[in-house]
Amino acid sequence: MKLPAINLDLLRSIPLVQKVGLLVLVLAGIVVGFYYFVAEPKSSEIAGLQVAIGTLDSEIQTLTIKVKHLDELIAASKQLEIELAKKKERLPPEEEAVMLLKQVSDLGIRLGLDIKLWKPSPKTEDASKLFVRMPVNVEVSGGYHTAALFFDRINALPRIVTVSGLKMGAPKFEKGRVVTQTVFDLIAYAAPEETKLAAVVPVTPEKK
């Protein structure tokens, strides 16, 4: 297909002002066409990419915060596991806890306390299943400083033994010394007994 021939004589006959105006119109058309067909679509695409980038930045920041919190939670969980392991080391078996309570009773007698009441209560298992409480209701009679030393020795025990519900009566003068009646609950903590699996008796096949 041949392009139409340009009439040079016709172009020469057009005044310069009209030539300039025509050139301006052609250039304006090119600019407008470039804007609508090239620049405008690209601008919309760029705006869409900017929105997408902003969304991704927000998601990245959120994930970064979550990861930071996750690291903190993991570190806290590990610390709790360490503390739990240390506490488990201080939890004796129940049989040993019973002996421990006997040792505490003997300790009070050695220090000079008169054991008026030593009444064990039924053991209770904690809801966490991690330990059992073995409480004893105790009443002792003796000097104030002797009782204070007794409680200090209990607090220094390597196993977990606590004193609660402490009540001290009015001091009295007996046998040349001042004594007080002290009532409290002594609680020893022990590891729960492991469930023993029933022994499986092997079946000997019958001889044919």
pLDDT digits 0-9 by tens, 115-171: 999 999 999 988 888 889 999 999 999 988 888 899 999 988 888 888 989 898 888
- Higher pLDDT residue, 84 or 201? 84
- What pLDDT is attached to residue 94? 85
Give the pLDDT of residue 55.
77
pLDDT-based confidence at 46, cuts 50/70/90? low
Separation between Cα atoms, residue 150 and residue 114, nearest integer Å:
12
Say if residue 181's pLDDT is above 70.
yes
Rounded distance, CA 34 to CA 51, Å?
Answer: 24
What's the pLDDT at 185? 93
What is the predicted pLDDT for the residue at 96?
A: 87
Please tell me the least confidently modeled range out of 8-12, 58-62, 84-88, 201-205.
201-205
pLDDT digits (tens, 9 = 90+) for 98-118: 898 999 999 999 999 999 999
Distance CA 119, CA 165 (A): 15
Which residues, in sequence order, are CB contacts of 132 under 8 Å at separation 6+?
94, 123, 124, 125, 126, 189, 190, 191, 192
Q: How large is the average pLDDT for residues 186-193? A: 87
Let me know: does 178 contact 142? Beta carbons within 8 Å: no
pLDDT of residue 3: 47
pLDDT for the residue 203:
44
Q: What is the pLDDT of residues 63-104, one digit of tens each?
A: 777 777 777 777 777 877 777 666 666 678 888 888 989 999
Statement: residue 53 has pLDDT above 80: no
Q: What is the pTM of this model?
A: 0.50
